Amino acid sequence: MANADCIVIQGSNMAEAHPVGFQWVTEAKARGAKVFHVDPRFSRTSAVADKHVPIRAGSDIVLLGALINYVLTHEKWFREYVVAYTNAATIVNEDFRDAEDLDGLFSGYDEESGGYDMESWAYEPEPGSGSGGTGVGDGTAGDSAREDGAEASTEAAGQQYGSGGPDVETHVPRRDETLQHPRTVFQILKRHYARYTPEMVRDACGIPVADFEELARTITENSGRERTTCFAYAVGWTQHTVGAQYIRTATILQLLLGNMGRPGGGIMALRGHASIQGCTDIPTLFNLLPGYLPMPTVEKQDLGTYLDSIASKKQKGYWAEADAYTVSLLKAWWGDAAHAGNDYAYDYIPRLTGPHGTYQTVEGMIAGDVEGYFLLGQNPAVGSANGRMQRMGMSHLKWLVVRDFQLIESATWWKDGPEIATGELRTEDIETEVFFFPAANHVEKAGTFTQTQRLVQWRHQAVAPPGDAQSELQFFHELGKRIRARLADSTDPRDRPLLDLTWDYPEDEHGEPDGEAILQEINGHQLTGPDAGTLLSSYTQLKADGSTAGGCWIYTGVFADGINHAADRTPGGGDGPQTEEWGWAWPSNRRILYNRASADPQGRPWSERKKLVWWDEDQGKWVGNDIPDFPVDRAPGSTPDPSLGGAAALAGDDPFIMQADGKGWLFAPKGMVDGPLPTHYEAQESPVRNPLYRQQHNPTRVTLPRKDNLSAPEPGAPGSDVYPFVFTTYRLTEHHTAGGMSRWLPYLAELQPEMFCEVSPELAAKRGLEPYGWATLISPRAAIEAKVLVTERMRPLRVGGQTVHQIGLPYHWGVGNDAVVTGDSANDLLGITLDPNVLIQGSKVGAVDIRPGRRPQGRQLLQLVEDYQRRAHLTVESGNEGVTGSHEEAGAEEATDRSERLDHESTDQPGAEE
C-alpha cells in the first residue's frame, strides 16, 4: 500500500481497526498519494483521508459498477493489459442472458431450488479446437455444470472448487482481440453496467454526482503504466448477502485499470484477527480441507470423481495439479494406510450433503441433532448474528466445552444470559453440561499466525501457561491420544480413520506437542527414494503417486532446507525491497501474487517507476524484486500447446496462473453461484426498492425462514414503516470482536466502558434522543439499549427522493456478570441471511426503530419485541422471497418502466420522508 498513488478504503475503518497497518497509508499519503474513504460513517480514517464519501450501507456495487462504467465509457481502461491479461476478448456462449435482459436475474435460474445452472455462462469454444464445451470432449462436463446449478442453494458451491476457481471446460475458448464481437466479455460488461451512472449512484448510494466524479477522475488518473491505485476493504464488504460479489466488482475495476499484480495496486483484504487468514488456509471450516481443497460432497464417492470435480488435467495453471496436493494431504494424515490400492484412504474423509456452516449448526442444535459443541476462543453468544438463536441453541446441547482465557458470555449464558432475565430460560431447567478449560495465550505457546498479507510468522514461547491452562495443540493432541486409546481394540470400520491417523508428535516435559514437528508435516516431505525424509522446498515437488506427503500444499517451503522460515527475523526484513527475510509468505515467500502482470506482454516492466519482475533475455528467466509468480523460464512470447494442460500449458502472457485459462476474470463463466457479473441487489432489510432491477434481493441468498429469525417487510409492504432506520455494526480501536480479549482487560475496559449508538443530530431531533442519554433499539428479532452519541459523523442521506437515516452500533458488548464491562449486544439485533457463495451473514445492514429511554426488563422486553412484530405484520415469509414478485397474487400490477417504478415507489412508500 505504501507504493500506491491512490488508495480507496471502502468497507473498512482502517485507521481505527488496523491502526498500525494504517501507517503505510500515511506513508503513501506523505509521498503524495490520494486517499479516499468511502463509508457510511465519518471516522478517524475519514479524518485523515483526502476525502470522505458517505454511502448508504449496502449500495457499494452501484458505486463500483458506476466506476466500471466510467472507465469503459471514458476510455480509461488499460488496453494492452486488458486485452492480454484478462478474459475481455473471450466470447461467451450464445445462450447467455444478462441481468439487463431478465430484470435482475441471469440465465439458468431455477426458481424451485433458488439456484443457477451455470451452463449458459460458459465460454464458446474455438471452432475446430476440439475443446470441450458442454459435454464435448469431456463426458463429465455437462453433468457437473447441472449439478452445480441445481444444488447451488444447498451447498457452499462457490468454495467447492477450491483456490483455483473452477475448470472452464472450454480449454480453447473463442476470442476476438478487437473486443467488438457483441458476445465478448468486454461488450457484455459494457452493457451490464451501462445503467450504473453517476445519477444512479446519487439516487442509490446518496453520493453527489460531483463527489462521484472526483473519485472516478482520481482513480483513473492514478492508474496505468506509471501509476497504480489500491483498494482496501474489510468486513464492510464481506458481510452482505452479496458480499463475495462486492470483491468481484472491485476485481473487475482493478483489472480494467491494470492494477493487479503490480506494486501499489491490488485489493487488500484487511482481515480482522491475528490468524484468520491462516484459519482459511489451514481451515477449521466445514467445506474446506487444507490449501483450499474442497471437502468432498456425497456425490464424490471416489477419489477420481472428487478430483475431476475440482480440476481438470486439461486446464491451464497450477490448479491442474490438485491431485498431487490431495494425495499428499492424505499421505500426511494417514501415512502407510493411504495407498494407491484404497484411493489413498479417500473414504476416510466424511462426506458433506449441504451447507454445514455455523448457522446451520445452530439450527441443528435447536432441533436436537447436535449434542456436543466445542468453543475454542470464540464467543458466539455475543459475536454471532442473532445472539438469541445462538444462546437458545446452546441450551439444547447435552454438553458444551468452552476453552478461553475468561468466563465469556458463551460460557455463562445458563446463569446470566438475556434469556434468563426474560424468563425464557430457567437455570434449574437447563440440562446442558458446561466444561470450562482455561487456555494458554499467544506468549505461552509457540506456533504460527498468518497475517493479512499471507505472511506466516512464528511466535516463540515466552513462559509456560499458568495453572490448568493449555494450548489448543496440547488439548487436542491429548484428546486424540485418549480417543485412540479407547478405540484401540475396535474392529468397527468407522474407527479406522482415527486408528490409522498419524498422531505421534514429540512432546516436551509439560506434555506440549512440538509445534515445529507439526509445521514440518504441513510443509511436507519426500517419502520414497534416496531423499526419503527430506523436507520439501516447493509445492511443485508434490506428487500424486504417494511418494510425497504434505499437509497443506500452499505452505510447502515454509520449512525449506530444514529451516523454519516463519521464524526468519532479519531486522527490518533484510535489505531487499520486499523485506523477504522476515517471516515467510505463502506461496514460496512471494510477496505480490500474479506479479507476472507487472511486466508487459513482452516481459518489460510497464514503467521504470512500477517495475517488479521482468524477463531477462540473457539469463532466459524471470527476475526482479519479488519471487516471480510464474514458471521462471517461460519466455514472454511462449505459446505452448494448450492441450498440455497444467503449468506447461501457460502461455507467456497468462499471468493468472491459478485460473483455468490463465487470465484475470472480468466475467466469471463458472464458480460464482449468484451470477457471472456482480449485480446490485438490496440487502435483506433495506428501506428502498432496488433502483436498477425488479429483482429486489440476491435471488440465491441463503435464508433461514424461522420464527426466531424474522425479517422486516419489503419496502412499501404493509408495516414497512415499523422499522424505518438502517443500522450498521462496526468495531472500535479499544475492543476486539465479542470482547473476550478486551472487555476483561482493565486498561481497555476503561477506555471504552459502555455500549453506545451513533446517531445524526437530525435523527436525534426526530426521535427526541438526548446526547449521553439512553436509547432503545428494536429490530424484528430483539430489542437492546445503548447510550446515545449524537454526532455529525452520521449523516442522513438522500436516496431516491427519500431520507435514509443510518445508526452506527459497535458490537463488542455482551450481557453477563463476569467481564469488567458489560452491555447489550448489537448482534442480538441481527438476523441470519447468508451470502450464497461463502455463507457469511449479512450483518452490515439491518432494519431498526429507535426511541429514547432504557429498554424494559424481564417479560416486558419480549412483549415490546412482539408488539413491533405484530405491528409490522411479520411472518416467516417476510422479506424471504426468492424471485421478487413470485409471492404476489396473480393479477398484481405489471412491472412498469424502470424509472417510472422508482418514482412511484419512492413517493408512495409509507416509511419515506421527504
- Please check whether residue 384 is in contact with residue 737, taking contact to mean a CB–CB distance below 8 angstroms: no
Q: Which one of the spans 48-56, 139-147, 445-453, 709-717 is the region binding another protein (CB under 8 A)?
A: 445-453
How does DSSP classify residue 526? Answer: E
Binder to another protein among 75, 94, 428, 489 (CB under 8 A)?
428
Q: 139 or 466, CB closer to another protein?
A: 466
- Residue 856 touching another protein (CB under 8 A): no
The residue count for binding another protein (CB under 8 A) is 159
The least CB distance from residue 489 to another protein, in Å, is: 13
Quick one: which of 65, 224, 266, 290 contacts another protein (CB under 8 A)?
290
Q: Which of 111, 139, 199, 399 binds another protein (CB under 8 A)?
A: 399
Q: Choose among 281, 594, 576: nearest CA to 454.
A: 281
Q: Residue-wise over 328-362: b if at least 16 C-beta within 10 A, else e?
A: bbbbbbbbebbeeeebbbbbbbeebeebbbbbbbb
State which of residues 81, 373, 667, 727 lies at the interface with another protein (CB under 8 A): 373
Determine the Cα–Cα distance for residues 884 and 894; give it in Å rounded to an integer.
Answer: 12
Determine the interface stretch with another protein among 378-386, 534-542, 650-658, 805-813 (rule: CB under 8 A). Answer: 378-386
Q: How far apart are CA 519 and CA 558, in angstroms?
A: 8
Q: Could you count the other beta carbons within 10 Å of the beta carbon of residue 888?
A: 10
Q: Which of 286, 534, 785, 913 binds another protein (CB under 8 A)?
A: 286
Binder among 350, 423, 637, 858 for another protein (CB under 8 A) = 350
| Cell triple for 369 | 441433532
DSSP letters, 655-703, are --TTSTTSSB-SS-SSS-TT-SS------SS-SS--SS-S--S-TT-EE
- Choose which of 31, 74, 510, 569 interacts with another protein (CB under 8 A): 569
According to the binding rule CB under 8 A, does residue 828 interact with another protein?
Answer: no
- Exposed (0-12), middle (13-18) or buried (19+): which is 433, by Cβ within 10 Å? exposed
Closest CB to another protein among residues 353, 863: 353
Residue 383 in contact with another protein, rule: CB under 8 A: yes
C-alpha angle 18-19-20 in degrees, rounded to nearest 5: 100
Task: Kindly identify the residues of this chain, within the stretch 147-176, that bind another protein according to CB under 8 A.
Answer: none
* Shortest distance, position 346 Cβ to another protein, whole Å: 10
Question: Is 572 near another protein (CB under 8 A)?
Answer: yes
Beta bridge partners of residue 810, listed in sequence order: 730
Give whole-number Cα distances, 740 to 571, 736, 743, in Å. 33, 7, 6
d(C-alpha 64, C-alpha 8), whole Å: 11
Q: Which region, judged by CB under 8 A, interacts with another protein, from 33-41, 308-316, 575-583, 796-804?
A: 575-583
Q: Which residues between 620 and 649 bind another protein (CB under 8 A)? A: none
Indicate whether 240 belongs to the interface with another protein (CB under 8 A). no
CB-nearer residue toward another protein: 76 or 812: 812
Q: d(Cα 883, Cα 889) in Å, to the nearest integer?
A: 13
C-alpha cell at 872: 409490522
246-275 positions binding another protein, by CB under 8 A: 270-275
Residues between 722 and 761 that touch another protein (CB under 8 A)? 733-737, 740-742, 744-748, 751
Look up cell 523460464; give the residue: 633
Site string for another protein, 486-525 (x = CB under 8 A): xx------x--xx--x-x---------x-x--xx-xx---
Q: How far is the CB of 451 from another protein (least distance, A)?
A: 3
**Which residue number, 177 or 371, has a Cβ lying nearer to another protein?**
371
Q: Are 207 and 40 in contact (CB under 8 A)?
A: no
Interface with another protein, residue 342, by CB under 8 A: no
- Between 249 and 471, whose beta carbon lies closer to another protein? 471
Is residue 552 close enough to count as binding another protein by CB under 8 A? yes
What are 841's three cell numbers? Answer: 451473514
Query: Which 292-331 residues touch another protein, going by CB under 8 A?
Result: 295, 298-299, 301
451 binds another protein (CB under 8 A): yes
How far apart CA 400 and CA 371 sit, in angstroms, is 8
Q: What angle do CA 257, 261, 264 make, to 5 degrees?
A: 75
By beta-carbon proximity to another protein, the closer residue of 134 and 588 is 588
- Of residues 454-483, those binding another protein (CB under 8 A): 455-457, 459-464, 466-473, 476-480, 482-483
Least distance to another protein from the beta carbon of 38, Å? 21
Phi, psi of 3 (to 5 degrees): -90, 0
Nearer to another protein, 273 or 901 (CB): 273
- Give the other-Cβ count within 10 Å of 753's Cβ: 16
**First vs last Cα of the chain: how many Å apart?**
42
| CB crowding 36-53: b at 16 or more within 10 Å, else e | bbbbbbbbbbbebbeebb
Q: Any idea how long the chain is?
A: 914
Per CB under 8 A, the list member of 91, 839, 847, 874 interacting with another protein is 839
Q: Which of 370, 536, 647, 777 binds another protein (CB under 8 A)?
A: 370
Give 802-813 as a DSSP string.
EEE-EEEEE---
Tell me if 896 contacts another protein by CB under 8 A. Answer: no
- With CB under 8 A as the contact rule, the residue among 335, 573, 705, 852 that binds another protein is 573
Binders of another protein among 805-824, rule CB under 8 A? 818, 820
Q: Which of 4, 6, 53, 352 binds another protein (CB under 8 A)?
A: 352
